Amino acid sequence: MLDPLAYYSPETYLFATIAEGFSKTGQISPEALYLIIDWKAPRARTKHLSRLARIAGGTFTLATQRIAADLYSAVGSEQRLGVLMTKWGFRLPTASALLSVLYPDMFTVYDVRVCRMLGDFDKLGDKNWSAETWREYQRFKVEVQAAAPCGFTLRNCDRWLWGKDKQKTLIAELTSAD
């Protein structure tokens, strides 16, 4: 059972506790997977539940066990992203969010706000899995790191760009309100 504080501030909990537990055991609880999905895609979380259960041929719990096993046994980052997008039917935004929690040094979240700050990549999230998708995601990751202040972790690069877009949006709204 997750600490109720995880529901109030999931990112604080997700990137510490869940990642550490997964790296040690190769397992993730259904509640933790659901929290990650809710953190990235709250409007689609119930659709994910039923879709993943259907793919697993059983329950969301079974799907969670199989997803964890697939990710833990995958050979490298490319295979991890590929299995989430092909076998489990995740689109890049949610797949990258899940992987950025479990492998924070290898993945960054593909997000519309970050894409706006980079001025590119807005169509990458619509693509199906392919070698080209992987190459473009790698280019995205490099651009995320290059656009943020030097010395930031990959996760903080992503957060900084997200915050920069949020700041830009709020300032524009305040300016137009005057």
d(CA 87, CA 38): 20
pLDDT interval class at 114 (50, 70, 90): very high
Q: 31 and 20 in contact (C-beta within 8 Å)? A: no
- What three-state secondary structure class fits 29? coil
| Contact (CB, 8 A) for 71 and 102 | yes
pLDDT digit string (tens) for 29-46? 999 999 999 998 888 888
Distance of CA 156 to the CA centre of its chain: 14
- pLDDT digits over 71-100, tens only? 999 999 999 999 999 999 999 999 999 999
The pTM (predicted TM-score) of the whole model is 0.91
